[in-house]
Each structure stands twice: as structure tokens, then as C-alpha cells.
Amino acid sequence: MQQQTAMDYQSIHGPGRSNFSSSSPHRMPTVSAAQALQDLESSPTRCIPTGLANLDVALQSKDPLQESTSADQSHGGIPRGKVTEIYGPPGVGKTTLGMHLAATVLHQNEKVVWVDASHPISGPRFAQILQNLPSSEPLNDDTLLSNFNHFTTPTLSHLLALLTHTTQKFPPENTSLVIIDSFSTLIDSAFPRNADSLSTPKKLGVPNPSSRKFPLLQYLINALQKLATTRNIAIIILTQCVTKMRPGFGAALIPSISATAWEQGLGCRVALFRDWGWDDDEGNKVDSVRFAQVIKVDGTTLSEGRGIFAAFVIGKAGISSITPNRGSPLLPRPTPAVALPAQQRKRADFEIPDSEDDEDYGWAEEDEELPPMPPQWQGSEDILAPPQGDSEDELAL
């Protein structure tokens, strides 16, 4: 019986050759690990170019000012096999950047998966970018759109079912890019933020719906990491931002999803924002300028002030790089603001002393009270993040 089973196995799978030296002259040559790593880094298909030379180099953990403009910038861009998050305020160009990346991949005769989580992609705008994007091998529109796979996920459950239960047919073969547009909208819909939840007392024995948020984010980012690594796919997540009020500092824009498990699973993170513009050498006004800042690269978060910027504008062909005016103070090194401790003012001899009896007027009580938080508009993407020290779970109740 055992002999018959062995014969059936060899007839199906062939004789075993593991742990035996092969005498075939067609055996692949041995390659060292250093040579394999060098070939991988110099491979033109390792990254997807963004169209911005400085951003492509910065995403490879290099300084654009110290690299040449030939070989170093030709192989840079969004890395494949990793998860990249691009966040910014509304209207800054996140979807346009995603469409530009998708058009670049389609012109390479590779497939793209686009997932709409909030609003549908603009067909005429995407077709305009496809037609105006320069390509070494022009393809007709039917061939380009045949490699474009579009999905709509109205709820977070639809997105989980689509991306966490992959099959042999999904993602399709030869897929290089997966873009999830407005992912934070699904999170805010499933776990809405409520500023009045802090004043609502908690009921004993009632489960907290927001307690499932962080385990779910960890499960999703692990599934996306596995999908990107096993299929060698670049996964790009487009999210919104929120405004964080920092005591002693100015307001700052931060990603709307700031869970620790989520941030650890990201390979790269890029922030987009707008600028007022400047005057060129001829005195003409240059406006509608956007900036892309690399916040995290190769799994390492850059310290504040070390982020690399890339200026760009949005046109018919998508995005295009622009060089800032050297004379304009657009890219200054941010100086950290230091909150000075309150000091008691000394009274001069000629100064009229202030009234110390503030209780008669109620001024002291009004100074200690904080103004109420503004209400959240329906559909607004720019919301207030919880202050430092307050957990996100308590705010989301």
C-alpha cells in the first residue's frame, strides 16, 4: 500500500529532487545577497513614479539636493510591496495625485484597482489625465481602461470583505497598484465622533462601540500589509486630516487616523497642503501651488523639521513639478514655539494697582472657563481632534 502511494505521488509530482545536487547544465547560477539587493534597488519596476522628481527621491530616503537627476531619480517613487498613506485637507489634490499614479501604471500596461469609499471617481477628469500623460509606448483608450478595475464600498464592512478575503482572481494578475480613496470617511461613518460624549455619563454593562475601532484598524492594516507583500503591490490610502489644538503652540493638521497600530503598519506617509504662492523672477503671480511633504519613509517617521518638500501644480495632464522662487521664504525651517511660563508682573511706583477683588465682577471665573467646542458640520472633513490627554475612545462615544 505504501509503495503504491509513493508511485502515485511520483507519477503526479515527479521524483523528489530536494537536498540532491543537480547535474543539469540549466541550473540557475548562485547570486549573493548583496547582488540581489542591489538588483532589487535598481529595478525600474520597484517603485511607481509620482511625476515629482523631488518626491520620488525623498520616498527612497534620500535628499533630492544631494542626488543627481539621472539614475537616482528615475527609479524612485511610491514603493511596491508596502502601504502608503497620503493625507491632506479637502481640495488639496489627493484624488488627482491618485489618478496620476493610476494613469502612470496603466501606461505601463499593468493593472490598477481603484476603490471608492466616499464619492465616485470623475470619469471625464480621469480620461483627460490618461490622454495627456506622456508615455513611451502610447496605448489606445480601450486597452488602458481594460486594465482599470473599479469598486465601490459604501460601508466599512464592504471594504473589509473586498480586501481581507482575497482570492486567486482578486486582485487580478499583473496588478501593480491598489488605491483606496477617502478611507477615513468609512471610519468616521462606522465610528462617529461626538464632542458631547464627554459630558454623557457611561452606563455600566453597556458595551462601548468605539472599543472595536482600534482592533479593527490593526486587523485591516495587517491584511493590507500581507496583500502588498505577497503580491508585490503598492497600496495607497487617501485620507483626510483633522485640526489638533496644541496648548502653547499653533494649530496643526494631523491625519484623521492616528492609532498606533495603524501608523506602525504604514511604510510611507505623505502630507499634502496648499500655499499662497509667490512672484516669479518676472514679477508674475504664481498661485494655486501645492506642496507634498514626506512624513514617514521606509517605516521610519522623520523628526519635525526634517520633512522633505516637493512643490507642484495641478493641470490638464495631472500634476507637474514646479520650482519655488529662491527669494521667497516658502520653505523655512520651522522654529519650535516655546510656551513661556506665566510670570507675575512687578508693579511700578506710578502704576495704579489693579483691583484684587475680581469675585465681585465674576472675571476670574470667566477666564478659567474654556470656550465650547464648535459644532461639527455634516459632511465636513476638517474636524477637531481630541486634546492631548483625552483618549479617542472617550470622544467617539
Asked if residues 100 and 50 have their Cβ atoms less than 8 Å apart, the reply is yes
Residue 330's pLDDT is 45
| Beta-carbon count within 10 A of 77 CB | 23
Q: Are 83 and 225 in contact (CB under 8 A)?
A: yes
Judging by DSSP bridges, how do beta strands 83-87 and 111-116 pair with one another? unpaired
The C-alpha cell at 257 is 487616523
- DSSP code per residue over 179-228: EEETHHHHHHHHS---GGGGGSPPPTT---GGGGHHHHHHHHHHHHHHHH
Of 379, 394, 375, which Cα lies nearest the Cα of 182?
A: 379
Nearest Cα residue to 41 out of 80, 92, 97, 91: 80
- Is pLDDT at 268 greater than 90 in this prediction? yes
Q: What is the pLDDT of residue 352?
A: 52
> What CA dihedral angle connects 217, 222, 225 and 229, to 10 degrees?
-170
Query: What pLDDT was estimated at residue 332?
Result: 45
- CATH value of 43-326 in 3.40.50.300, 3.40.50.970, 3.40.190.10, 3.90.1150.10: 3.40.50.300
Q: For the residues 313-325, what does the mean pLDDT come to?
A: 84
* Residue 127 identity (one-letter amino acid): A
Ranges of each domain in the chain: 43-326
- pLDDT on residue 151: 96
CA-based angle 339:296:219, to the nearest 5?
Answer: 110
353-393 residue pLDDT tens: 555 554 555 545 544 555 555 444 444 444 455 555 444 44
pLDDT score, position 184: 93
Average predicted confidence (pLDDT) for the chain:
76
Say what the pLDDT of residue 251 is: 83
pLDDT at 394: 44
How far apart CA 324 and CA 85 sit, in angstroms, is 25
Residue 153: pLDDT above 90? yes
Extract the C-alpha cell encoding 182.
477617502
Give pLDDT tens digits for 85-124. Answer: 999 999 999 999 999 999 999 999 999 999 999 889 999 9
Q: What is the predicted pLDDT for the residue at 258?
A: 86
**What's the confidence (pLDDT) of residue 396?**
42
Burial 78-113 (b: 16+ CB within 10 A, else e): bbbbbbbbbbbbeebbbbbbbbbbbbbbbbbeebbb
Does the pLDDT value for residue 11 go beyond 90?
no
Q: What would the pLDDT profile of 68-87 be if each residue is shown by its tens digit?
A: 544 445 568 999 999 999 99
Q: What is the DSSP letter of 163?
A: H
Residue 331 pLDDT grade (very low, low, confident, very high; cuts 50, 70, 90): very low
pLDDT for residue 197? 54
Torsional sign, CA 91, 93, 99, 102: negative
How far is 73 from 63, CA to CA, in rounded Å?
11
Tell which wins on pLDDT, 113 or 284: 113
Q: How far apart are CA 121 and CA 94, in angstroms?
A: 12
**Confidence at residue 138, expressed as pLDDT on a 0 to 100 scale:** 73
Q: Alpha-carbon distance 158 to 358, whole Å? A: 59
248 pLDDT tier (thresholds 50, 70, 90): confident
* DSSP states along 66-110: TS-SSHHHHT-SEETTSEEEEE-STTSSHHHHHHHHHHHHHHTT-
pLDDT per residue as tens digits for the range 183-225: 999 999 998 876 555 555 566 666 677 788 999 999 999 999 9
pLDDT band at 29, cuts 50/70/90?
low
121 phi/psi in degrees, rounded to 5: -70, 145
